[in-house]
Amino acid sequence: MSADRSAIDVVVVGAGPAGMTAASCLAQSGVRVLVLDEHTAPGGQVYRSVEKVTDKRSADLNVLGSHYRNGSKLVERLHSSGAQYWPGTSVWEISAAGEPTLAVGVVRDGRVRLIQAGHIILATGAMERPTPFPGWTLPGVMTVGAAQTLLKSSGLVPDGRIAVAGSGPLLYLYVSQLIKAGKKPQVILDTRPRASLQAKLSVLAALTVDPASMFRGLGWMREVRREVRVRERVHRLRAGGVEKLSSISYESCDRQFTDDVDLLLVHDGVIPNTWLAMSAGCRHHWHVQQRCWVPTITGAGQTSRQSVSVVGDAASIMGADASVLHGEAVASEVIACLEGKQQNAVGNAAHPLLVRQQRLLRRCLDQFYPPAPEFELPPDDETIVCRCEEVTAGQIRQVATLGCVGPNQGKAFTRCGMGPCMGRKCGVTVSRLIAEHHGLGMDEVGHYRIRPPVKPITVAQLAELEIDTDAHTA
């Protein structure tokens, strides 16, 4: 390996299943690896707090399920691999393509640094798909993912009258966990449209190649539907209340319903967390099946920018098991790159059957759980799209009528995407609304331009910026 550029060969951003696997494979091959993790312990969102759960919270482990133990093996492998691990570290910048040195801007212990590296692997994972509907900004409305984070990190379960709305495996997994914890939602509002013939056939294909995963998911659904009332084909969802959530209204099978609730948990699938890859200048395109932006990748994980790779759900939604396989494949590709060999890795040749299984399973889930049309394109003009700047769907449609043909142009009219989240929660929706109005494809409309700092830093911190060529001294 070349050692004259930096004491760190590869920086891995993120310590979920993909990031931990890639880092472990690299370190065990003699590559000097630094793992940067926003969380206080490895595991990512999928296996959040897995060390604490397995060591000290056996009761919570029973709630989370036996599959959760898989994270412990990945964490143990990371710790024993020799890779450096920096918890509580946020990444605010990756140096621009034109700069002479590849570097990662980080905040750790209140200090701002630039870490030089030979290669960067982005394992930033996924985020929940935005679900704008009337009243979704009220206190008392939150995502299923946020609620599950509280369960994993602290063993907390919600109190009061709970409704769960949306679709997808995570929704049923979480409700199954709630039931095991002794708390039942009063209703599940399933927003999934009637399954097409193609979707049903994809289920049969997935059952053939990966029956264990399919039966595990079907088991969650069977358990949940036995214990909780489920409303099918829900639409026109509204959250009501003055200062906080007090009720929900919706239509199901041509009937109108109103329920008094204290908490509404919403989930409509996940999409890649692309913000850091976008800010690094990596090319992205619209994924038609998954309805989201994904980085344009050649080989296993190589982006359009040399020396920057993407792995796991950050590349496209694939799930924890597939992310582990992808982490191995990307690690092999990066090793070849560092050694100056031709990059021709297109998958994990050691596990061809497993790769095929995971691809078919993902295709099934994409077809069986498409985004709810009303979440994807809010029909009510008064629905807030940008929570930071309180911009509505009607305002986006209005600027599109005035001739706005892209989200970046729209910033000048509405400030949409200029708030603290920098468009994470509204970016996909804004582009979809503009594309629909003009009858354009999503790649024609484009996405927000993301510029550093991706995470907030102060002027005082920047004034004390340190450049680390040897991260081992930190």
The amino acid present at 346, given as its one-letter code, is: V
Tokens read off for 341: 């060999």
Which position has the higher pLDDT, 386 or 204? Answer: 386
Per-residue model confidence (pLDDT) at position 190: 96
| Residue appearing with tokens 């040399």 | 306
How far are the Cα atoms of 22, 202, 244, 270 from residue 359, in angstroms, in the given order? 19, 11, 42, 16
For the stretch 110-143, pLDDT in tens is 899 999 999 999 999 999 999 999 999 999 999 9
Residue 216 pLDDT grade (very low, low, confident, very high; cuts 50, 70, 90): confident
Architecture of domain 373-440: Orthogonal Bundle (1.10)
Per-residue model confidence (pLDDT) at position 255: 95
Per-residue model confidence (pLDDT) at position 215: 85
Which position has the higher pLDDT, 56 or 146? Answer: 146
346 C-beta neighbours (distance < 10 Å), count: 11
Domain with CATH 3.50.50.60 in the chain: 10-127+271-340, 130-268
Q: In the predicted model, what is the mean pLDDT of residues 413-440?
A: 94
DSSP string computed for 170-227: HHHHHHHHHHHTT---SEEEE-PPPPPHHHHHHHHHHHHH-HHHHHHHHHHHHHHHHH
Q: In the predicted model, what is the mean pLDDT of residues 184-197?
A: 90
Per-residue model confidence (pLDDT) at position 209: 76
Residue 348 pLDDT grade (very low, low, confident, very high; cuts 50, 70, 90): very low
CA 85 centroid distance within chain: 21
Per-residue model confidence (pLDDT) at position 105: 95
283 within 8 A of 308, measured Cβ to Cβ: no
Residue 174 pLDDT grade (very low, low, confident, very high; cuts 50, 70, 90): very high
Residue 363 pLDDT grade (very low, low, confident, very high; cuts 50, 70, 90): confident
Residue 471 pLDDT grade (very low, low, confident, very high; cuts 50, 70, 90): low
Instruction: Count Cβ atoms within 10 A of the Cβ of residue 144 and give its class: 0-12 exposed, 13-18 middle, 19 or more buried.
Output: buried
Domain 130-268, CATH: 3.50.50.60
User: For a pLDDT cut of 90, what percent of the chain falls above it?
Assistant: 73
Q: In the predicted model, what is the mean pLDDT of residues 261-286?
A: 97
**Torsion over CA: 415, 417, 422, 425 (sign):** positive
Q: Inform me whether the pLDDT recorded for 3 exceeds 50.
A: no
Q: In the predicted model, what is the mean pLDDT of residues 412-422?
A: 90
2 C-beta neighbours (distance < 10 Å), count: 10
Which of the residue ranges 204-208, 301-305, 364-368, 383-387 would you say has the lowest mean pLDDT? 204-208
Residue 469 pLDDT grade (very low, low, confident, very high; cuts 50, 70, 90): low
Is beta strand 126-128 parallel, antiparallel or unpaired with respect to 270-272?
A: antiparallel
Tokens read off for 225: 């539907």
DSSP string computed for 44-72: TTTTTTHHHHHHH-HHHHHHH-GGGGHHH
Per-residue model confidence (pLDDT) at position 5: 39
Residue 205 pLDDT grade (very low, low, confident, very high; cuts 50, 70, 90): confident
d(CA 448, CA 277): 12
Per-residue model confidence (pLDDT) at position 77: 97
Which position has the higher pLDDT, 342 or 308? Answer: 308
Residue 282 pLDDT grade (very low, low, confident, very high; cuts 50, 70, 90): very high
Per-residue model confidence (pLDDT) at position 55: 82
- Residue 185: cis peptide before it, omega within 30 degrees of 0: no
How far are the Cα atoms of 164, 234, 247, 261, 363 from residue 161, in angstroms, in the given order? 10, 19, 10, 5, 35
Q: In the predicted model, what is the mean pLDDT of residues 139-163?
A: 95
Which position has the higher pLDDT, 274 or 474? Answer: 274
* pTM > 0.75: yes
Q: Inform me whether the pLDDT recorded for 2 exceeds 60.
A: no
Q: CATH classification of 10-127+271-340 is 1.10.260.40, yes or no?
A: no
Per-residue model confidence (pLDDT) at position 207: 82
356 within 8 A of 348, measured Cβ to Cβ: no
Q: Inform me whether the pLDDT recorded for 196 exceeds 90.
A: no
Residue 473 pLDDT grade (very low, low, confident, very high; cuts 50, 70, 90): very low
Domain with CATH 1.10.10.1100 in the chain: 373-440
Q: In the predicted model, what is the mean pLDDT of residues 300-316?
A: 96
Q: In the predicted model, what is the mean pLDDT of residues 29-46?
A: 96
For the stretch 52-67, pLDDT in tens is 888 878 788 889 987 8
